[in-house]
Homo-oligomer: A and B are copies of this chain.
């Protein structure tokens, strides 16, 4: 950005500037929070709305931008922290939704983000407003996506606002990115000690299909170990079958 030499003329202009000259929309930062459960299934955090509109419907966490106090990125991080106690995880802007009528109250522009939370790190915290917050497994069915959580099963049409669209886009982007970005590492239980099959299971979950281990290993060694992005720890870990070599992600 250009460093501004604020002239007297400009000072005058700024002081007279009427902030309400244009009708302003509300802006929210909404977050699609993905994680993997203990059986390596893709899960998303949803919140049961305690207030209108869409009272009683499930929604992704989100909140109004505190204009002047924070950037939208910060608002998204705050929202993530509020709902999950988690900080310092993968948080990336997804898309901005701004169709008219998507919120029955007024015009609401929602800047959506995707968060990838490592396994076993999601400590769900009921929001300030004591809504229910729950992890739902993402399944696919004829009708589209189904969100299931032990006793509860909800469908796309049970979601508030246009949140089904947002979630679909988040899943699509996650899938498209996984082959050329390092996103998968963010879902590892421990980046400093992981096996090739742990990583492979993450890829399988996200792509929703099984992969060939020999080929996966080959690409992993070529793209990460040979390039120095990942190091072989020289140690192994045993669980069942032959002990597996441990690797560590470099950087970050």
Q: Is A218 an interface residue (CB 8 A)?
A: no
9 contacts between A and B (CB under 8 A): A2-B57, A2-B157, A6-B104, A17-B106, A19-B105, A19-B106, A22-B66, A68-B106, A73-B98
Question: Smallest distance from the beta carbon of A46 to chain B beta carbons, Å?
Answer: 14
State which of A131-139, A159-167, A189-197, A201-209 sits at the interface with chain B. A159-167
Which residue in B17, B93, B160 is a CB contact (below 8 Å) of A2?
B160
- Residues of the B chain whose Cβ atoms lie less than 8 Å from the Cβ of A157: 2
State whether A72 and B104 are in contact (beta carbons under 8 Å apart), knowing that A2-B54, A13-B52, A26-B22 are contacts in the complex. no
Total copies of the chain: 2
Closest residue of B by beta carbon distance from A109:
B27
Question: Smallest distance from the beta carbon of A175 to chain B beta carbons, Å?
Answer: 14
Q: Is A10 an interface residue (CB 8 A)?
A: yes
| Bound Cα distance from A57 to B23, whole angstroms | 26
| Bound Cα distance from A52 to B24, whole angstroms | 20
Which residue in B54, B65, B71, B100 is a CB contact (below 8 Å) of A68?
B100
| Bound Cα distance from A115 to B174, whole angstroms | 25
Closest residue of B by beta carbon distance from A73:
B98
- Residues of the B chain whose Cβ atoms lie less than 8 Å from the Cβ of A104: 4, 6, 14
Instruction: Write out, one digit per residue, whether chain A residues 103-115 have a CB within 8 A of any chain B CB (1) or not (0).
Output: 0111101010000
A14 with B52: CB separation less than 8 A: yes
B96 with A10: CB separation less than 8 A: no
Closest residue of B by beta carbon distance from A108:
B67
Instruction: Write out, one digit per residue, whether chain A residues 8-34 have a CB within 8 A of any chain B CB (1) or not (0).
Output: 011001100101001111110000000
Q: Is A81 an interface residue (CB 8 A)?
A: no
- Residues of the B chain whose Cβ atoms lie less than 8 Å from the Cβ of A109: 27, 65, 72, 109, 111
B99 with A111: CB separation less than 8 A: no
Question: Smallest distance from the beta carbon of A40 to chain B beta carbons, Å?
Answer: 29
State whether A2 and B159 are in contact (beta carbons under 8 Å apart), knowing that A10-B53, A105-B17 are contacts in the complex. yes
Question: Smallest distance from the beta carbon of A5 to chain B beta carbons, Å?
Answer: 11
Which residue in B1, B67, B93, B98 is a CB contact (below 8 Å) of A72?
B98
| Bound Cα distance from A102 to B54, whole angstroms | 34
Closest residue of B by beta carbon distance from A57:
B2
A100 with B70: CB separation less than 8 A: yes
Closest residue of B by beta carbon distance from A112:
B96
